[in-house]
Amino acid sequence: MTMTPTEQPEQVVMPDPAELLIKEAREKARRRRLRWTFLLTLLIAACLIGIGIVHYTSSPMRTSSGNSDTSAKALTCPNARVKILGETTMNGAAVYAGLIVRASVTSSPACLMSGYPMVGAQLTSHATAMASDVRETYLGGGMTTTAPLSRFSITSRPRVVSFTIQLVTGNGHACPWFNSIKVTLPGSSETLTAPSMFEAGGLSQPGSFIYCGELQVTPLVKGSSGNGK
């Protein structure tokens, strides 16, 4: 008689507690590495974005012609006190008209000012036309050289500066008129409304402009001529 041995039940192998602890420690270490890698990636991305912003803000400004103007960056002069002294019409040509705007500037504490004024024309159409920056205008205002823009030392002693505005004008049938002109000198926090009084030939004459487009402003220059030599 042949005896067949009975089958033994499969043995269940229980994991070694020490091995479980090792696996858990390895998993925790892996998760920590992932977290640090993620945080490092975020830090690198933030640094690259910051470098890009600094590069953009420190890059030379460009005039409306697309040329770099390394001296066009406005210097900070937030405490400057500005007084508009007057406006003088420029000799027109074809469909162009323009103004020389003169201002007196003081500041305490002393500061440096350079660049293009911000000019906005309030129109009878209830729109606002913002001027683009140009080195010089067709009518002759602005910087007639390629030298860096002038830097002005502004102190408590009044200093006279000027700039020019040029625009395309028309016969009034299809274009709005100027209501007023808002002016902010470069680096200043003060915005002024230029008076609607144009001085021509030594006489003060009330007047305004028909605006058909292409409002432009030139850099700040010393004196009252609106021209930089």
Q: ∠ at Cα 212 (206, 218), nearest 5°?
A: 75
Q: To the nearest whole number, what is the mean pLDDT of the chain?
A: 77
One-letter amino acid at 39 equals L
pLDDT for res 217: 95
**Strand pairing category for 213-217 and 159-168:** antiparallel
Burial class (CB in 10 A: 0-12, 13-18, 19+), 112: middle
Residue 98: pLDDT over 70: yes
Phi, psi of 156 (to 5 degrees): -75, -10
Instruction: Report yes or no: 82 and 103 within 8 Å, Cβ to Cβ.
Output: yes
Tens-digit pLDDT profile for residues 158-186: 999 999 999 988 776 688 888 888 999 99
pLDDT at 61: 44
Domain boundaries, the chain: 15-59, 81-228
Q: For the ranges 56-65, 70-79, 166-175, 177-186, which has the lowest average pLDDT?
A: 56-65
Q: Is the per-residue pLDDT at 72 higher than 50?
A: no
**Cα 220 to Cα 1, 71, 134, 145, 148, distances in angstroms:** 121, 12, 11, 14, 12
- Predicted model pTM: 0.64
pLDDT band at 200 (very low <50, low <70, confident <90, very high): very low
